[in-house]
Chains A and B, each alone.
Chain A
């Protein structure tokens, strides 16, 4: 299916829950409401015409300092889906505020979401509700803060041993 058709199919199905769509540089993209996120992802996976069986990537972006987005929801959680059978891709995004940085987990749909979500929690501090193992993935437990947030200075070190400078 072409990108436009995928977007249209999901728009038809979810209507008002799709907040925004675009196809910048040919990447079909949808922004959906958080409440409908898991339904959208499940539909993407299970609908025969879409059949997105691989969660290729799951990450987040901190829009704290993005021009024009300073006041909007701070985080975007980004899902890149791929279908082995149809050889097509879609990007599904959802937006969350800083004081309510929580997204339902997709572990039940794809087991790989487990580690990807742990990484997003580690790096951005976005929680995944219902995650079976909500630990940090890359940093150590003693680490305070979430380094990929735009307000975390790149060289603020928190050594376990050795000098802290």
Chain B
């Protein structure tokens, strides 16, 4: 084994098997039964894995370096693509880290929007995780059902953010836009469909003999090791530790909603599955409460008078016809829905140094235009004072932390993402050693490795 360099393995040179008594099998990085690109160099004695070396980095896309290139808000599209199954949580966590660095507070309504949308994202994540790992065990129906439910939730996300997957909805100091009309009804409907799917999946999987044989007692990690490997999230809760950042350090509006933290004690794949299934129900509960408690009155306020076209608005401003212009609503393009002045006030921190002004102000007054340019121009923008801040939030896979260092300029000096799924991957060899080769697949599935976040 030792004489084969990694280059040989990568490029397919060399003999293929080791010279020792045990068989060396390379699993991945493009393996049919694994959703994710890692390489596991497993040493097999018969069918039992006696040793495993996990190799990651196949999706390293220089997230942390890319963040240092643009302004603070420019990093938000990159955070979408960290955990691309629950991008909203990444958006909000990063924005909150920068807000902590700036020392600003977002509005109440924004906090509730973040809470509700993050929970919708978490459901999508768990649906994909459970669905994909069930598919790898042969339960293709479950996968189809769960993707169906995810589609309903994505329609919801698309309604709010304008995109299905890579949404870039968070902003430092707020969110991109307010919730659209009729969101509550759509959410109720989507949750109804999701609950039906979860019920069906419970009946298909939870007591299923084949599924349980593959999951119960497989991939066990002890409580001590789980903590030693800094594993958080569903995997930690599956060994009986009720740590959840939403409860331990409540951020956004988590201190004002009621929810339970599902706990199992066995630490095997089945426990992780049960924790995830129970968490989805709790997430729906949180989102429903957040929407019910959300302050700020009606979502889209109608202004007096007819809205005018942005181009006409700018023309009038140029001609000096500014009298009363700021009170005239603009007919915003659908892309900018939810960003008009009333909505802007509700969802954004009132700090001119951080948040872009509402579009009416940008188009209709010189101060607004200057404010807009000052935030967009290179060398200006958001400039937190010198210092550093670490903000933790509960990602779908565990503690998602952003550590941001500012040098006082308009670009982050350093952005570090504490990836929730790196610790479980570091401990994966401990979970699969002593198990059969076939157990590798459900164990890997239960870890819910997300390449973008693992390799960044």
Contacts and interface: CB of A to CB of B under 8 A. Distances in A.
Interface in A122-139: 123, 136-139
A151 B241 CA distance: 43
A87 B416 contact: no
A57 to B, nearest CB: 4
Given A27-B389, A66-B413, A112-B426, A142 B65 contact: no
B266 interface: no
Contacts, number: 104
Interface stretch (B72-80, B190-198, B272-280, B400-408): B400-408
B62 A147 contact: yes
Interface stretch (B146-154, B223-231, B330-338, B375-383): B223-231
A24 B387 contact: yes
B418 A138 contact: no
Interface in B401-434: 401, 403, 405, 407-408, 413-414, 416, 418, 422-423, 425-427
A42 interface: no
Contact of A66 (B5, B403, B407): B407
Contacts of B64: 123, 148
Contacts of B388: 24, 27, 29
Contacts of A123: 64
Interface of A: 24-25, 27, 29, 53-57, 59, 61-62, 65-67, 78, 80, 84, 87, 89, 91, 110-112, 114-116, 123, 136-142, 147-148, 154, 160
Nearest to A149: B65
Nearest to A119: B422
B408 A141 contact: no
Contacts of A110: 228-230
A55 B230 CA distance: 6
Contacts of A91: 390
Contact of B408 (A29, A67, A116, A142): A67
Contacts of B230: 54-56, 110, 112
Interface in B62-86: 62, 64-66, 68-69
